[in-house]
Each structure stands twice: as structure tokens, then as C-alpha cells.
Amino acid sequence: MRSTVSTWASASRRPGHLLVAIAAFLSLTFAGAAWPQSAAALPDGTDDTSSVEASNAQVPVGVTAGVAVFDRQTGTFSEQLNASTQFRSASIVKLLLALDFLWTRGPDYTVPAADRTRLNVMLRSSDDDAANHYWSHYGGSAIVNRMTSRLGLTDTAPPPAGQEQMWGYTATSARDTVKVYRYLLEGAPAPVRDLVMGNLRQSTRCASDGFDQHFGVAAAFDRPWAVKQGWSGGATGFEPGTCGPVSSASAPAAVSRPSAPTAATADLRRPALHTTGTVGAGDRSIVAVFSLHPEGTSYGKAFTDLGRLTRSLTVPGASVPSGKWYGTWSSGVNVREEPLIEDGNVLTRLPAGVEVLVGCQKKGQVVSVPPYTNEWWAYLPQYGGYISNIYISHPDNQLPDVPLCPNQQ
């Protein structure tokens, strides 16, 4: 997703918390800054840093991961792996930018129309221009310092010296991210919670920079979920995105990246891909998965590896979509409304080499990619469309373990 001039390829409230919400609301009315100075002790009196680290996470070879899954129903972690390890946040810091701006909105939480537009696109589509605006107009690194103090974050820190304008270099951890979501759901005034979480529930598949951002939580579990994702190509960079039926003229272009400093708390060189959010009815589970990948890793490979890691986690309240996961090959594979090639029926495009969930298959238009031809098409329920089986990494034209689509039976 981009910070300043660079691209960084970026509840329900329980009744017992009613008094907390009212107190926070009234405090804002009279004192400006309504929220507690520290959220280390969360609204229910628990401290979410005290659990013993344990995880069954299956981390792909070459990937460095930090994981935390918190079950709000039981008040315990179901997964913790390197939960306090610092990673560069990429676009996860946009949660802090939004919260900092909303902190002193006043008793009616009036948000100017221009800012509501910026917040919507920053939270739903990970827009970098909006993040640049808040970072440059509201103090840059001071935003991180304010929110660290307000929320009692222990692993979060501003970008390193010399890189202060790079908001994507903010360091954070999986356990601090859980704290942010717990505060949103259990301590923040209702207007703040509804604005932020409402936007995260409406996450767009295509981010503002053209990358497919429905990886990790968004791909591993059925709705309801709410997500804020992050991606950063590091020293080598990710290839430009191809999400959406866009022409080559309108596709995002590669941009220069600053050289990563050699001395930093968080690794700034390896490609980063992070998935965070809530899963299940009532936002039961909070999930935070941070990952670093070997230099030169493609976006599709990182997308796939993070997906496999996320699917291996124990996430209470989650519903797993039905289907079979398959790898794909080629770049810019079109997902189409129907199993035929014609203008106007392209829904989106797949990142190169990404793994997809196949729900069923049917015969359609014959596709030829010499020396291969194939008349079978795979339906991808998470995309709501079809790709030719010719682009699926399997030796047979018809996939042997995938059912026929209903109108083919």
C-alpha cells in the first residue's frame, strides 16, 4: 500500500457494557477525549496479553507469521503464535488513523461529508490517498503515539527515524491488533463502532490500488465477517494488481519504493501480507494474522500461503465454505458471469497463481490454450463466476472430486 509517495501493495454490544458506552459518550461531551487513557484493562476487566501462547497454525515453508485468535464468547485465545512479534503494519495502521480522527468528534459525532467519504474508502477499499491525508494533517507519528497510549498497545510504534512519512512502516503485532478490535467492539462509543465496523463489513474485493484484497479471513470463512487487510511488497515489490475488469491503460502502474533501512524493529524488506478482522455471528472471534514472505514472492503466492495458514486456524463461530481448493496458473485470468467468452461478462480477474475455491463445474464454451483445449468451467462461489478449467492446475479437463453444477446434473 502507498504511504505518502510510495505504494504498499496495501457488534453487537453485550448488555453488560451499556454503562461503559454511556460513560464514554458523556465523557466525550464534556471533556473532548472520551475514551480511557489505557485499554490494557479492557471493558470487561480482562487483560488480553496474559494468555499462554499456543497454536495449531500450519505456517507454510519460508513464511514468518504472527497469529492471534480471540474468542469473545469465552474471553480466551484459541490461537497464539508469535503474537507479540512486531511486523510492519502496512494498511492495518489505517484502523488507528480512523480511530484517532474520530476520537474528539463531539457528542453527536458529526463527521464532515468529505471525511466520511475518505473514511469509507480508506476502510472499505484500503485507499492510500485517504491515509496520506490523515497522516499528513493530524501529526503523522504522533497519531501512533496517541493511539498507543489511549489503547494500551504494547508492541505498536511509529515508523523508524528517517522514514516518518511512511505510515506503512508503523510496527504492530497480532495481540495489539486484537486489542484494537476488542476496543472497537466492547469499549468504543456506538457511532465510532458502527462507522468503522460497518465499513469493514463492506470490504470491496478490489482495493483502490487494484489488488484483490479478499484473501485470508475473507476467503477462508463464510460471512458474517469484517476485515481490514494489509499488503506491502517490501524491497522487491508485488506486481501491479489486476483485480476488476479494467483495461491495461487504467491498471495501476508500478512505482518506485524507498530503500528499506537496515536497522529497524520490524522487518521492512520482505513482502508482507496481513489479514485481520472479526468472524461469526456477533463478531464472535477476532482474527489477526501477520505474515512475511521470502523476497521476490509473487502476490498470488503470498495470497495462497496466507490463505492456507488462515484456514488451518481454530476460529470459534466460523463457518467454512464448501468446495475444493485448487491452484491456478497464468496471469490476469478472467472470472466470468457465465462459462463463455464474450465482451461484458467479466466480473474480475485473479491474481497470478492464486489458489481458488471451486464449488461446482459445468460444460461451456471450448477454450484453447495450445496445446490444450477444455470445455469444462469451474464455478468460484466466492467470486460469483466461472473460470475455464484450463487454468486450473490439474491434469484432467474435468475435476474428479468436484460436483456438477445443478443445471448439469
d(CA 12, CA 261): 42
DSSP 112-160: -HHHHHHHHHHHHH--HHHHHHHHHHTTTHHHHHHHHHHHT-SS-BPPP
What is the model's pTM? Answer: 0.85
- Backbone φ and ψ for 289, nearest 5 degrees, come out as -130, 115
Q: What is the pLDDT along the chain (409 residues), one digit of tens a residue?
A: 544 433 333 333 333 343 333 333 333 332 333 443 334 445 544 455 445 567 889 999 999 999 999 999 999 999 999 999 999 999 999 999 999 999 999 888 999 999 999 999 999 999 999 999 999 999 999 999 999 999 999 999 999 999 999 999 999 999 999 999 999 999 999 999 999 999 999 999 999 999 999 999 999 999 999 999 999 998 888 887 778 764 433 333 333 344 444 334 689 999 999 999 999 999 999 999 999 999 999 999 999 999 999 999 999 999 999 999 999 999 999 999 999 999 889 999 999 999 999 999 999 999 999 999 999 999 999 999 999 999 999 999 999 999 999 976 5
Paired sense of beta strands 272-279 and 225-232, if any: antiparallel
> Alpha-carbon distance 319 to 189, whole Å?
29
In sequence order, what are the beta bridge partners of 87?
172
